[in-house]
Amino acid sequence: MVNYNKINLYKDNLIKFIKTQDQIIKIDKISDIDYLIGILFLTEMNRYCKANKISIHGYYIAYSLINLFIKIKTKLLKKEKITYKDLNHFWLCLANNIDYLNTRIDETNIYKAKINNNYSKLIIELIPLLTELVEFTHVTQTELVSESSTNSDENNASKSNKSGKSGKSTKSTKSNIKIVNSENSLNSVNNSNTNTLTKLNCTYCVSKCYICWVDKVLSKFIYILLITAKFIGSGETKDPNLQKLAEYYANIIYTYLKINDIGEKLDNNMSFNFFDNYIDYKNKLNYSIIELKINSDTLEEILKFLDDFIIKKLSIN
């Protein structure tokens, strides 16, 4: 991460911390984008902590989020699975950070009590999201083929009923399920209404389709990151604004991962589609950051790092 002073400082501190821990993921397996996930958490957490006069670090949680992200990323790109060992590591790191907070923060700080009182509420908020991520990484191709065939049969039956002799219409509960081929996934998004696509009841897909990557996986993971950061610095366990921010971050990270995976195979049409999608969500994210007044020097560096990489990879100047 050349010429990124603030995120390099965070990265150095993360490396020092990880070296003191039982390494669930080895240092040499952590890439720049992985560190950036931990740095995004720390940046968001520190903003809330500063506002509420809480002086702590969040390296325990940052490390656990880096591990989860690596597992998600390698599942999307290869065939890695999130295990319950990974989840236990996350819960342990969260507990360690709460314990650390309690030893550091004075009892007179009203947010300390709020954090401890709402700890169980955060767990209730996160459990279904983390469970979905685990379930996603355990989906097999056989299950997908079987479900896809069932969905196709039900769709055909639904169409037949709508135009059949009885004149009656029968709704299929899975009539909107769609599995998108990886080579055509982004083109499908750009040739269709994105808002409509993200509302589809899309099954998890090993072919790396847009909806699975963004709507079903990355958005949920980034929301876990953002809401946990807010909780550690404020005790809050819900924020609708963070769901939108998670969607915007997820699309940008999706672009990063996809073009890094495809590499030199990108043709001009694919570059244009990726670039168009990226610019759309980068603008949405920047607008939201300004509107919510949550900008910071470190956040600017994070977005600049992603922007520099994506622009260079897509060869658009």
Tens of each residue's pLDDT in the chain, 317 residues = 767 899 999 999 999 999 999 888 889 999 999 999 999 999 999 999 999 999 999 999 999 999 999 988 887 777 667 788 889 999 999 999 999 999 999 989 999 999 999 999 999 999 999 988 887 767 654 444 444 444 444 444 443 444 444 444 333 333 232 323 333 333 333 343 343 333 333 344 544 567 778 888 899 999 999 999 999 999 999 999 999 999 999 999 988 988 887 665 667 777 788 888 899 999 999 999 999 999 999 999 999 999 999 988 887 54
Number of domains in the chain: 1
pTM equals 0.79
Residue 270: inside a domain? yes
In a domain, 281, yes or no: yes
For residue 100, being part of any structural domain is answered with yes
Of the candidates 64, 200, 217, the residue with the CA atom closest to the CA atom of residue 139: 217
Q: Has residue 185 been placed in a domain?
A: yes
Residues recorded for the chain: 317
What residue has token string 């056989």?
Answer: 142
Task: Give the residue numbers spanning the domain of 13.
Answer: 5-161+171-314
Examine residue 309 and state whether it is found in any structural domain, yes or no. Answer: yes
Instruction: Specify if 166 maps to a domain.
Output: no
